[in-house]
């Protein structure tokens, strides 16, 4: 069982782009503990297995995949029941659903799909200074052949998109940057994958287009994605690097709620918040109580951070 868990854990971690250090931070354990799981020298307890399954968007049954004893089976069933209850009560933050036609395309590109999503999350983190929750990718047979939709907290945020994606298309490089992807579609050459990329062109796939759209949606609705826990995680990142910028300020002088509202407003306005130590320092010195003070703080921070 240890070996089977180790193999599946490693595969899931690598597919989703996590390092041992990063997954240790997300699970609240030491990198040494993660290393022991992957070496097959120890197994997480039941509560941790449930946390891993939630983070990796898989079932506890998949992680364990063994014939348990009567005692361990009872414990596993308890964990699975709790996971099922929580999945019904608390929807995944972000879900990307795709129709049958896109499923076929994505299966062909399956070795790259999670990497594309992970790279998008990393890119937004680098550019905007934000944390993006794990994004669930699943098929939906009720959608059209080449349709997809984006769900936020279980509710449809982007309705069925009826764009007729080909497997690949090629667009003139001078039409980029990629942020103008919608402009690229009508000017692209809609072809099957070529052995050589046409001269002066850049290759795209269905997933490239979808992930770019997903990134736009994340920024547009980040005020609905950002919560107290994500805000606290961002503060912890600053605390580890600049402890004096946080200690005695968050939450003593500036509450997590106040910081959350400021960050959400800035990000949805496309203002990077990767200078979080500066933002915390500003909020320490300037009240954001009341609409007038809040707007003044947003204006001042926007001018400084742009």
pLDDT tens, residue by residue, 238-275: 998 889 999 999 989 999 999 999 999 999 999 999 99
Q: How many helices (H) and strands (E) does the chain have?
A: 15, 7
When comparing pLDDT for 57 and 114, which is higher? Answer: 57
What residues contact residue 239 under an 8 Å CB cut-off, 6+ apart?
A: 245, 246, 247
- What's phi and psi for 139, nearest 5 deg? -90, 160
Q: How many CB atoms lie within 10 A of CB 274?
A: 15
- Residue 8's pLDDT is 83
* pLDDT of 7 above 70: yes
Say if residues 191 and 218 touch (Cβ distance below 8 Å). Answer: no
| Whole-angstrom distance, CA of residue 8 vs CA of residue 12 | 6
Write down the residue that tokens 């597919």 correspond to: 15
| Whole-angstrom distance, CA of residue 181 vs CA of residue 282 | 36
Q: How many CB atoms lie within 10 A of CB 197?
A: 13
Write down the residue that tokens 């759209």 correspond to: 213
Cα dihedral 235→305→123→131 (10° resolution): 20
* pLDDT of 89 above 50: yes
Confidence of residue 179 (pLDDT cuts 50, 70, 90): very low
- Asked whether the bond before 251 is cis by omega within 30 degrees of 0, the reply is yes
What's the mean per-residue pLDDT of the chain? 78
- Residue 50's pLDDT is 81
Q: Which two tokens stand for residue 113?
A: 């799909």
Nearest to residue 142, comparing CAs of 123, 153, 156, 121?
156
């Amino acid at each position: 069982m240890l070996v089977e868990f180790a193999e599946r854990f490693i595969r899931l971690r690598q597919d989703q782009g996590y390092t041992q250090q990063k997954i240790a931070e997300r699970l609240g354990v030491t990198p040494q503990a993660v290393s022991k799981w992957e070496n097959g020298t120890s197994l997480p307890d039941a509560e941790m297995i449930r946390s891993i399954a939630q983070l990796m968007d898989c079932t506890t049954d998949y992680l364990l995949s063994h014939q348990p004893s009567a005692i361990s089976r009872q414990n596993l069933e308890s964990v699975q029941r709790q996971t099922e209850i929580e999945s019904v009560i608390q929807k995944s933050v972000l879900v990307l659903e795709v129709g049958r036609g896109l499923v076929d395309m994505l299966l062909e590109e399956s070795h790259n799909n999670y990497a594309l999503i992970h790279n998008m999350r990393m890119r937004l983190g680098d550019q905007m200074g934000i944390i993006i929750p794990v994004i669930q990718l699943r098929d939906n047979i009720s959608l059209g052949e080449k349709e997809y939709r984006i769900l936020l907290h279980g509710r449809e945020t982007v309705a069925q998109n009826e764009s007729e994606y080909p497997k690949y298309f090629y667009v003139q490089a001078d039409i980029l940057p990629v942020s103008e992807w919608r402009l690229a579609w009508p000017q692209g050459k809609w072809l099957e994958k070529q052995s050589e990329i046409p001269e002066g062109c850049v290759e795209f796939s269905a997933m490239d287009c979808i992930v770019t759209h997903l990134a736009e949606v994340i920024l547009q609705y980040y005020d609905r994605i950002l919560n107290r826990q994500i805000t606290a995680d961002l503060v912890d990142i600053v605390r580890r690097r600049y402890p004096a910028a946080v200690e005695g300020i968050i939450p003593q002088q500036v509450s997590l709620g106040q910081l959350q509202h400021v960050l959400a407003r800035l990000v949805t306005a496309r203002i990077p918040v990767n200078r979080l130590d500066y933002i915390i320092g500003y909020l320490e010195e300037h009240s954001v109580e009341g609409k007038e003070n809040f707007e003044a703080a947003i204006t001042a921070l926007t001018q400084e951070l742009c």
